[in-house]
Amino acid sequence: MLKHRGFPGRLPSTDHQFTIRRANPKGATKLALRERYRDRSAGDRRADAAFLAALIEHFGDEPFERGNLDAGRLSWLLGREVVAVGKLDPTSYEQLLRVDLKRAEAGFPELFATDAPPDFGWDDWDDDEGDEE
């Protein structure tokens, strides 16, 4: 399993996880399309935006390997802002994904605001803190 060094492990000051520490010996957690209903909490919506912002900052619109990215968090964006490159294998750590920037801007316009994009506190965060291996 590829570990994405430099990628935030979670949304600072929350329990919203962005990466996993080690591969599951039983296999990767299955990616599944999740419906984002309007009544989701503000914290969940902020975590989606922060995760997408981190994906864009880290990978742009280039293909990237799923690796140690959290399946649950990816599933909230899968099929919309994040798309599979080729046929989706939902249980593969090697699955290539890509951010669809047009759909990302439509779904999260605040991330593309030039006047005041959201601050997720990445500057205060040490993503390798407590990392084992």
pLDDT in tens, 48-85: 999 999 999 999 999 999 999 999 999 999 999 999 99
**Cα angle value 77/110/121 (rounded, 5°):** 85
CA dihedral 77, 18, 92, 32 (to 10 degrees): -40
pLDDT at 127: 47
Coil, strand or helix: which one is 101? helix
pTM reported for the whole predicted model: 0.84
CA dihedral 126, 127, 131, 133 (to 10 degrees): -120
pLDDT at 131: 47
Question: Among all chains, which residue has been given the structure tokens 């503000």?
Answer: 42
State pLDDT tens for residues 22-47: 888 888 899 999 988 888 898 889 99
Answer whether residue 128 shows pLDDT above 50.
no
- Which residues sit opposite 10 in a β-bridge? 17
State pLDDT tens for residues 83-121: 999 999 999 999 999 999 999 999 999 888 877 667 676
Contact between 70 and 20 under an 8 Å Cβ cutoff? The reply is yes
- Residue 104 and residue 86: Cα distance in Å, rounded? 19
pLDDT at 116: 65
pLDDT at 115: 75
